[in-house]
Amino acid sequence: MSSSDLAISVRGVAKSYMIAHEANKEESNDFSFTAAVRKRARSGGKREEFWALQGVSMDVYRGDVVGIIGRNGAGKSTLLKVLSRITEPTRGEIDVYGRVGSLLEVGTGMHPELTGRENIFLNGAILGMRKSEIRSKFDEIVDFSGIERFLDTPVKRYSSGMYVRLAFAVAAHLNPEILIVDEVLAVGDSEFQKKCLGKMQDVASHGRTVLFVSHNLTAVQGLCKSAVWLAKGKVKEAGDVGRVCNNYLNEAYSESAVDRSWDDMETAPGDASFRLARARVSVNGPENDVISVSTPLYLEFEYWNLQPDTVLNLSLHVYNETGVMAFNTTSVGEPNWDGRAFPCGKYRTVCEIPAGLLNDGTYRVELLAVKDRGTVVFMMEDSLLFEVVEDPSTRAGWMGKWPGVLRPNLSWCTTVSDGAITTVRQA
């Protein structure tokens, strides 16, 4: 493409922040903590320079729909703030060709003391729109946001969901040539998420440019044609959305704690009665297979029982990334050794988690070994850590975040009921 088709050009952009180290313990327990920190800052106390972006370069062309992915702290939101001119880069150059509509974190671009109605006109004016242009879009914005009852209420009284509804409606409907959206799917209910994705698709279909940051890779792959993967403030990979997302997932999977082993019984976790030899997540496939919501997986544990004639069972507490327990399961009822006394020796216990049970996300497994059905003899909080990713084939076109910790594949059945309608009245 020619340079005249450029929407955004980023060349060597870097952004640094100064981080002041916390006061010492004595200062933090004192009411003069804030004053002490200020005094130390004025007197040249220890401060650290943190580079959120480090030499980012990229070109985005008109009509491109680009997903920006990466872990928390990779620099995604900082890059969008720089592109939206909310903050200036420390180094580098940015050229933006066109009017930008942004939806970043909750509250960005909204004046808390003004009403929803006033904020709509304020944002339109900032974008350089005439009052008549804003009025022509006004009803559509209000209808999309669903906050008509609170239109004349100061937005400082809005909930976070209402804030985001209005902010997205304004950003997407005021005819920006470039729409920048950061994690809009993380707030709001599924119906609102669906409306947001539909609107972004509509914006993209009319030849406008979209930059979309999300941890929901299904939405990124469904909406975007290309992706930029940021890691530690740098562009790690850019190009076809499918290739970039797959490489990102493979790296995330390889860094998870999916296979941990201790060959030396003397130094393995445990005590004189129980030692853990191995904890492993496996699938029926290659060792580095990505685990999707459609993948059956196996939690395997090898261990030494060092106390003769002990009746043992394992218990697993599985938590999601927010610390909510997804479920607890135990080996009680296991057909081979349940209720039997374990001689001293090495054992292997496997728990199968069926396909279609876990939602996408990161999971942590807490392992407990229980003696005589009541005494915990061993516990490891982080025995395993693994990632479950989306399977687009199960989504039926829906690209928003599927709610809930679990998403079990339950049986459904629909039949024709008795009492068929014989006459249908046309509206």
Q: Domains in the chain, please, with CATH?
A: 3-12+54-253 (3.40.50.300), 259-388 (2.70.50.60)
Q: Is the confidence at residue 30, as pLDDT, over 60?
A: no
Q: Residue 189, SS3?
A: coil
Specify whether the CB–CB gap between 314 and 370 falls below 8 A.
yes
CA-based end-to-end distance of the chain: 51
What is the tens place of the pLDDT at every residue in 204-227?
778 889 898 887 777 788 888 899
Count of CB atoms situated within 10 Å of the CB of 112:
12
Residue 284's pLDDT band (cuts 50, 70, 90): confident
**DSSP H or E run through 79:** helix 76-83
Which residues, listed in sequence order, are joined to residue 328 by a DSSP beta bridge? 317
Tens digits of residue pLDDT in 231-240: 999 999 999 9
Does position 10 have pLDDT exceeding 60, yes or no?
Answer: yes
> Residue 297 — very low, low, confident or very high, per pLDDT cuts 50/70/90?
very high
Q: Taking the CA atoms of the chain, what radius of gyration do you get in angstroms?
A: 27
Residue 253 pLDDT > 70, yes or no? no
The pLDDT value given to residue 31: 40
Res 118 pLDDT > 50? yes
Q: What is the pLDDT of residue 159?
A: 81
Query: Is the Cβ–Cβ distance between 311 and 340 less than 8 Å?
Result: yes
Average pLDDT of span 248-276:
85
Angle between helices 160-173 and 116-126 (to 10 degrees): 40
Percent of the chain with pLDDT over 70: 82
* pTM for the whole structure: 0.62
Kindly report, residue by residue over 124-159, the tens digit of the pLDDT. 887 777 888 889 989 988 988 888 889 999 988 888
Which one is predicted more confidently, 362 or 424? Answer: 362
Give Cβ neighbours of residue 97 (< 8 Å, ≥ 6 apart): 6, 7, 8, 62, 177
Q: Which two tokens stand for residue 187?
A: 């707030």
Residues 6+ apart with CB under 8 A from 21: 45, 46, 47, 48
Contact 227, 239 (CB under 8 A): yes
- pLDDT top residue among 91 and 123: 91
Residue 306 pLDDT: 94
Mean local confidence (pLDDT), 13-32: 62
List, for residues 152-207, the tens digit of each pLDDT value: 999 888 887 787 788 878 877 877 788 888 766 555 566 777 777 777 778 777 88
Query: Would you place residue 25 in the very low, low, confident or very high pLDDT band (cuts 50, 70, 90)?
Result: very low
The CA distance from 128 to 299, in Å, is 57
Mean pLDDT value of segment 1-27? 75
Instruction: Sort strands 100-103 and 6-20 into parallel, antiparallel or unpaired.
Output: unpaired
Position 15 scores a pLDDT of 94
Q: How far is CA 234 from the centre of its chain?
A: 19
